[in-house]
Structure 1
Amino acid sequence: MLRICVIGGSRYFGKRLIQRLLTSGHEVTVVNRGSSTPPAGAFHVVADRDDERALRTALGSRAFDVVIDQVCYTPRQADIARRVLGPRTRRYVMTSTVEVYEYEDSASPVREEAVDPRTVAVDLDAELPYGEGKRQAEAVFARDSALPFTAVRVAHVLGGADDFTGRLTHYADRIREGRPIAVPPVNHPATYVYVEEIADFLAWAAEREFTGPVNAASNGSLTTGDICAAVETRTGGKAVFQEVEVGEVSPFSFRRSYAMDNARATALGYTFRHTSDWLDRAVGETLGGQA
């Protein structure tokens, strides 16, 4: 049994992760602001992670074998967590994102060394977009030599009736109504992961000892067309694509190529499934009765 702290994580794949950890017999403490209640069996600590003093007070004398940080979006949040939780855990696992590679444009899948967080410049006071915020948050943890740190770089997540992002609904609405779907002239494939599988992977990673970045993605990249084909099957409509040179494009449409290579996860002992094994199921779960 491990003593595991999950920061945030009471929604979407986070709640699935917590349930898996409990089912495996671990002692789980969930830290959030109180806006959602963790699954039965988990201890609940209510605190604002952005308030260092309040977080330290709320945690009291608690110590952990592993911290899994599901909601670290900025280097400042990472710096607070490093100071408060670093001395009371043996290993820190941060849920990061494929978007740390957003500046890459590679014909072959991107490996972890493409972004070494130890070399990333950090600005604790800057207002940062999502990908850059995650990249700098990784950098804060990676530079703390006293804290064993793992960054799980999560691919685009699909599936679940509780997918709150609205991205698949965006496609379903346009396909059903015959409205155009905006894509770039060169629309690159990307890597994805099923919501149940990323919960499995994070639970598995919590029980291991490896450190450093690791890409978490299913085998088999997907194009916008692949995803829309699954939506077409569900809705009975037909996707109409409209190329746009500049401006906003639809979700899961990419002007740059930074699909992830999952070879390190495989070498560490975890085998991801292929997207073809779960794509139709994922789309059906999310769209549900929207057909």
Structure 2
Amino acid sequence: MAFAISIGFSGTKMQRSSVANSRASSLRTRRLHAFAGFPLVGARASEFSGAHPLGRRQALRSMGQRHGIQGLQCRSAAIIVNPPSGGHASIGLYLARQLLSLDLEVYLLVAGQEDKYRSKQPNSALLGLREAEPHAASFHISFGDADDPSILMNMVQTRRPSAGPIAAFIDNRSQTLDEALLLHKFAMGLNAERYLYVSSCGIYEPGDYAPFIETDQVRQSAGQAQVESRFLRDSVIPFAAFRPMYIIGKHAAKLDYTNFFLDRITRKRPIPLPGKGNAFVSLTHAEDVASMLACAVLARPDEVSGQVFNAVSPRYVTLKGLAEMCHRVVHGDKSKPEIIYYDPVKLGIDPKEATGLPFRVSYPFIADPGKAMRLLAWQPRHDRTLQNDLQEMYEEYLELGLHERRVDLTNDDRIARSVGAAAKAAAAK
């Protein structure tokens, strides 16, 4: 089976960017108090920190012993601004679950209209959290325009003035600097203890070295890169950025990474793969991205301030290996899928445009999460469970009836004919 394990660690020195002078920070925050429409709070993040969930629970118990019942009632909270759809949307679902399990209150804004998005994933699962015990009273979800300050203020105005701190503001939505500036300003007004930004590995400049590490060059024209650059330079709030890649998992809004294979296997069609199918891809479960963010919430603000992390799996799989694994979850045997290998350059086609291949294959597009494993003590749960994850996604594929929908595979046929004709011509010579 074409599968590989590869973990690379950056040798770069750990860099930290300091937060602005505390007096200036306090003054600026209070000037923005009116924008937030919410009283400032003074609890320290260190009281809610720990190396892992168990550590945080111990910290909470310790805090209760020091401060008594009143201290226990001052629960910290997290605010998540989530996209209504797209590849990153499911991160918000898994992150909300994890933060709730850590006894935080969670306020989540889906940046879209409820009547348009409530029935779509992951939003329907998010709405289910509102009714689920034992965390129903701790989870608050709203839909609306994230660029409208009143939507954000309404989301948190029910918090008691005596409530604990906003431990983290997680921006999983902004793709431009203008979008992020508004949310960042709002987080300042709430005196949030850290601002965690979900960026993308897609901002890396193509290069000859693999895997990508956080110090590699990025495309400065990319909106996410501009957000990172601005806030890494002068954020008043401790700021950290997280760069995911190819997210999978149940309740995902974007299913392309597995549907490309399942659409063909369930219809007994060959799978067209560029080259020899040996290009590596990195599929990361949304739960693992969420757990990395949760680790950053549990860490002290100064430990994450000014940091960038690749939020990716430490394991990679070839396109051929992924095709074989998907074939096994469908057929449950050791038979091999039918694969058509083609040279996109000779055929003059782009794999994405011609077949819908959802992966970058023109250069090595994988990244190293070693920095998060070192600094945040992050350990992925799904680094050795890809086969099981694919099984779960196949079951969801059937539940959604995707195996019965119409799929246009005419370009697959054209590629097959071109490959066959080229093979005959070569044999004739």
The answer on 1:230 being equivalent to 2:230 is no
Q: Which has the larger radius of gyration?
A: 2
Q: Deviations over 1:204-252 (max 9, x none)?
A: 2221131311112222212211211111112344333333124243113
> Distance between the aligned counterparts of 1:4 and 1:243, measured in 2?
48
The answer to whether the 8 Å contact 1:174/1:239 transfers is: no
Question: What 5-or-longer segments of structure 2 have no aligned partner?
Answer: 1-74, 119-125, 130-135, 160-164, 332-336, 404-429
Look up the match of 1:218: 313
Structure 2 counterpart of 1:31, one-letter code? L
Counting only pairs closer than 5 Å after superposition, residues 30-69 of structure 1 correspond to structure 2 as 30-32=108-110, 33=112, 35=114, 36=118, 38=127, 39=129, 40=136, 41-52=138-149, 54-56=151-153, 59-60=156-157, 64-69=166-171
Look up the match of 1:199: 290
The answer on 1:24 being equivalent to 2:124 is no
> Distance between the aligned counterparts of 2:386 and 2:169, measured in 1?
31
Look up the match of 2:269: 178
> Distance between the aligned counterparts of 2:390 and 2:277, measured in 1?
24
Counting only pairs closer than 5 Å after superposition, residues 80-91 of structure 1 correspond to structure 2 as 80-88=182-190, 89-91=192-194
The answer to whether the 8 Å contact 2:277/2:318 transfers is: no
The answer on 1:158 being equivalent to 2:248 is yes
> Distance between the aligned counterparts of 1:58 and 1:163, measured in 2?
24
The answer to whether the 8 Å contact 2:107/2:155 transfers is: no
Q: Deviations over 1:185-216 (max 9, x none)?
A: 78631323223322222222221131311112
Query: Alignment partner of 2:372: what SS?
Result: helix
Query: Alignment partner of 1:68: what SS?
Result: strand
Look up the match of 2:201: 98
If the length of structure 1 is used for normalisation, what is the TM-score?
Answer: 0.82
Q: Deviations over 1:255-280 (max 9, x none)?
A: 111311112112111123574x1111
Change (3 A) 1:9 1:3: farther
For residue 342 of structure 2, the aligned residue among 239, 242, 245 is 242
Greater per-residue helix proportion: 2
Q: Percent identity?
A: 20
> Distance between the aligned counterparts of 1:241 and 1:253, measured in 2?
16
The answer to whether the 8 Å contact 1:224/1:253 transfers is: no
Query: Alignment partner of 2:361: what SS?
Result: coil
The answer to whether the 8 Å contact 2:285/2:382 transfers is: no
Query: Alignment partner of 2:80: what SS?
Result: strand
Change (3 A) 1:107 1:116: closer
> Distance between the aligned counterparts of 2:320 and 2:380, measured in 1?
22
Greater per-residue strand proportion: 1
Change (3 A) 1:116 1:150: farther
> Distance between the aligned counterparts of 1:187 and 1:73, measured in 2?
32
Q: CA RMSD in A?
A: 2.9
Pairs aligned (count): 277
Query: Aligned-pair distance for 1:156?
Result: 1.6
The answer to whether the 8 Å contact 1:22/1:42 transfers is: yes
Structure 2 counterpart of 1:6, one-letter code? I
For residue 391 of structure 2, the aligned residue among 260, 279, 284 is 284
> Distance between the aligned counterparts of 1:194 and 1:94, measured in 2?
18
Look up the match of 1:129: none
The answer to whether the 8 Å contact 1:180/1:242 transfers is: no
Change (3 A) 1:55 1:29: closer
> Distance between the aligned counterparts of 2:152 and 2:185, measured in 1?
11
If the length of structure 2 is used for normalisation, what is the TM-score?
Answer: 0.58
> Distance between the aligned counterparts of 1:16 and 1:272, measured in 2?
13
> Distance between the aligned counterparts of 1:273 and 1:55, measured in 2?
33
